[in-house]
Amino acid sequence: MSAPPRHDVVLIGSGINALVCAALLARRGRKVCVLERNSVAGGCIRTEELTLPGFRHDTLSTLYPLFVSAPHFAELGPALAEKGVRFVNSETPTATVLPDGRAVLLRRDRQANIAAFEALGPGEGAAFQRAMADIESSAALTFGMLGNALWGRKSLRILLGEGLRRGPRGLTRTIGQAMGSCRDWLEGKVKSDLLRALCAPWILHVGLSPEAPLSGHMAKLILLTLEQFGSPMVEGGSDRIVAGFRAIIEEHGGEIRTDAPVSDILIEKGRASGVRLASGEVIRARRAVVANVTPTQLYGGLLPDLPALSQARQDGAAYRYGRGEMQIHLALDAPPAWHDPALGKVAMLHLTPGLDAVSQAVNEAERGLLPAQPTIVVAQPTALDPSRAPQGKAILWIQLQELPRDGQLRGDAAGRIAVPADGRWTPQIRDAYAERIIDGLCQHIAGLRESIIGRHVIGPGDLPGLNINLVDGDPYAGSCALDQFLLWRPAGAMGGHNTPVKRLWHIGASTHPGPGLGGMSGYLASRAIG
């Protein structure tokens, strides 16, 4: 009999973090094997003709500002470019439209933004400039904490350096101010309802609410990132990234296997030594096993019930998941005719009444209600990349992030959609809610309903079938509340990626520094594995 296949590193899951980790290790000469349970690799990165032939929709993720701004992009960006991966961008990365039709745009130009916001009211441009200056002045601390394992020498050196530079009181003040909420920042420093409405929805993209601790700092950080890096998409579709990573990994002797679900991680002499597939096949790992999964999966299913893991198993069982998400993909017979033509080139915009509406929709979702007036996120891939649709046609990528998870539905805040007693999302509820969203869009896009020639809706109940980490429809693989962030993502990890099992590493959106498609946890684990 032949010996089981042996690799240096075996990775469970093929999301962005696993791909980054595998590619970096492969380029250093490590033989890697990436195992994906689904028939398509990429995790939340996939592109499909969901509506009609020739219309290439990014099924889940579509923007990659955190990836192109990550430290590993200096190495992986050129390597991916050699494999044909090209990012396209817009000079107007985001905008917000209010119900009355007023709109405000964010540009990739600081002075243009200051001038545009000052036109909204005296002092508004200066308020934005101060907010960006706050982030820029704490960049070393912020990016140091998000870009390193928190319980490690580099983070300690950064904290000591900042303590010496600012003094103990100054450092404490800086950290304390960063804990403030988005509402505190906007109500305290910004008067314009338009500027508040531009900023507030972005905290939804990190799984927070306007009242959450740290949400003010995160909102400023996102706006700075958008201003500096834009909202890049991948020409031809996000799946080109996965193809590029596959080419890099295979070029260096590694492999990506699909339809290869892992049933358990093998532990020998207290160390991870490989994995067993559901088929019974054993794949050995000389150096490390890397799991791109949730804590629930890792400690509640993949690992044996060992005494040394009792606390980790308790922590994994207590790990909480956040709000649900819906995706609506539209194929259009013509580019969207926004009432404000300037919106036609925006990469991703929000439709919302403003700060209070975002807060109300989050509150309704967390109480199990379908929000009456949710924040509608609209990305326009064909505005940046016409190749995504046949000539003269267009696609819209629509996201709703303020929804109850599957199993948590209790009612409809608008009182129009009946929900089942078991709290589950049904296709009927999903499609009825999608109609509410399209009705809202029709208020701002002339002739939209007549222009729709194809539609595909993905609800919270559908998401786990696409990616097992999206538990009950949570797109961020776990609540991002402060007690599950930084040192506590996940509990017991202390902001690192090693586990109680030697040679077993835990990465993914459930780990530090959280979701965002930047690949940072994979990058940090690759550095530690060596």
What are the 10-residue block averages of pLDDT along the chain, 530 residues in total?
77 98 97 98 98 98 96 97 97 97 97 97 97 92 88 87 89 90 96 97 96 96 96 97 98 97 96 97 97 97 93 94 98 97 97 97 98 98 97 98 97 96 96 97 97 98 97 96 93 89 97 94 96
Closest CA to 54 of 339, 387, 302: 387
Spatial contact of 189 and 130, defined as CB atoms under 8 Å apart: yes
Q: Which CATH architecture has domain 321-466?
A: Alpha-Beta Complex (3.90)
In this structure, are strands 445-446 and 394-403 parallel, antiparallel, or unpaired? unpaired
Residue 409 DSSP one-character state: -
Report d(CA 37, CA 261) in Å as an integer. Answer: 4
- The angle formed by the CA atoms of residues 22, 25 and 27, to the nearest 5 degrees, is 105
Question: The pTM is what?
Answer: 0.95
For the chain, give every residue range classified as CATH 3.50.50.60: 6-45+64-88+236-319+479-529
Which residues have C-beta within 8 Å of that of residue 288, sequence separation ≥ 6? 8, 9, 10, 272, 503, 504, 505, 529
For the chain, give every residue range classified as CATH 3.90.660: 321-466
Q: Give the pLDDT confidence score for residue 65 in this predicted structure.
A: 96
Q: Which CATH architecture has domain 6-45+64-88+236-319+479-529?
A: 3-Layer(bba) Sandwich (3.50)
Closest CA to 162 of 147, 149, 180, 143: 143
Q: Give the pLDDT confidence score for residue 3 in this predicted structure.
A: 62
Residue 344 backbone phi and psi in degrees, to 5: -65, -20
Taking phi over 0 as left and psi of -120 to 50 as alpha, with beta for the rest, 478 belongs to: left
Name the residue type at position 12. I
Q: Give the pLDDT confidence score for residue 495 in this predicted structure.
A: 83
Tokens for 447?
A: 């002739």
Report d(CA 226, CA 199) in Å as an integer. Answer: 11
Q: Give the pLDDT confidence score for residue 155 in this predicted structure.
A: 87
Q: Give the pLDDT confidence score for residue 420 in this predicted structure.
A: 94
Q: Which helix (H) or strand (E) holds 388?
A: none
